[in-house]
Amino acid sequence: MPRIMNIRTRIMSDKADLRIILANPRGFCAGVDRAIEIVEKALVKYGAPVYVRHEIVHNKFVVDRLRDMGAVFVDELDSVPDGVPVIFSAHGVPKSVPEAAESRQLEYLDATCPLVSKVHRGAERHHADGKHILLIGHAGHPEVIGTMGQLPPGSMTLIETEEDAENLQVENPENLAFVTQTTLSLDDTAKIISILQRRFPAIEVPKKEDICYATTNRQHAVKLIATDADAILVLGAPNSSNSNRLVEVAKREGCDRSVLVERAKDIDWSKLDGISTLGITAGASAPEILVEEVIDACRERYNVTVETLTLTNENVTFKLPRQLAS
């Protein structure tokens, strides 16, 4: 028996040391918390199944958990049977979606993040003032589709890149306004806005920054750990805009070995060979349990010490829809 214990001790001592720096804030934001709670409370109130149009948030772990509880995720309302409640995802939907639900007398709950709704209302105000609106965002993202769907076709032009901003031609340069997707890179968006303001000095800007507080905080926090980390793991889904931006920000800050992973089993450990300090953060749709899972996986391979680098502590909360208010 003592001989076996000695072998175990030697194996443990052969592990390399690894310092893990956790970025704070990371993970769930208030909009994601609210959206998930809406599905959970709807299942309690109405019973399963409750239908959800699109992924409630961009995270497979979260979606699978809610599916196991009785949520049914569909691409469009056509797949929702009559007489059951339907929930709209946190990314927002075009106005045509609730209109279609009402025409079928479906009860719906809107889980759109209030900060996305703020962008919608801003676009509507600009449109009411007769302005043509430039939307800075990524084509095909559900939030962009939802924002553009707030107004009649042709009311809004999508700007994805600095090149788009440089080449844009408009009928009335004196009658423009812009809004942005809430999950963009702060630095990239600032460059695009600078070009638009140089080319169109009269362009009207949002009253408050459209990129949300959570995106902003997580990008600033990852910048802090990028200066001290040999590699960074960003927990998030491949289709999560804010998670992908975290990888880009980390690389731009000099941490070239920054990668997006959905969970611990997806880590390519060969890419971490030779590192002594690992940064970890998580996109706004990634639950903390996945961060803990990655730390546990690291402990199997390294002698781990963990520290947290805090930029700020978030205390934002959003109200639930009136149907679920207790």
Could you give the C-alpha distances from 25 to 110, 147, 215, in angstroms and in order?
26, 27, 10
CB within 8 Å of 228: residues ≥ 6 apart:
21, 277, 279, 309
Q: If we measure between CA atoms, which residue out of 92, 84, 86, 82 comes closest to residue 73?
A: 86
Q: Has 298 been labeled as part of a binding site?
A: no
> Where are the alpha helices (H) located in the chain, listed in sequence order?
2-13, 30-46, 60-69, 96-103, 114-128, 142-148, 162-167, 186-199, 213-226, 241-252, 288-301
For residue 159, the cross-strand partners are: 136
Q: Has 277 been labeled as part of a binding site?
A: no
Q: Are 90 and 59 in contact (CB under 8 A)?
A: no
Q: Has 113 been labeled as part of a binding site?
A: yes
Q: Has 285 been labeled as part of a binding site?
A: yes
Residues designated catalytic: 143
Q: Has 241 been labeled as part of a binding site?
A: yes
Q: Has 117 been labeled as part of a binding site?
A: no
Q: Has 155 been labeled as part of a binding site?
A: no
In whole angstroms, give the CA distance from residue 36 to residue 320.
Answer: 11
Q: Has 91 been labeled as part of a binding site?
A: yes
For residue 234, the cross-strand partners are: 260, 281
- What is the DSSP code string of 189-212? HHHHHHHHHHH-TTPBPPSS-SS-
Q: Has 326 been labeled as part of a binding site?
A: no
Q: Has 132 been labeled as part of a binding site?
A: no
Q: Has 212 been labeled as part of a binding site?
A: yes
Residues at the binding site for isopentenyl diphosphate are 58, 91, 141, 240-242, 285
Write out the binding residues for [4Fe-4S] cluster.
29, 113, 212
- Annotated binding-site positions: 29, 58, 91, 113, 141, 182, 212, 240-242, 285
Residue set of the binding site for dimethylallyl diphosphate = 58, 91, 141, 240-242, 285
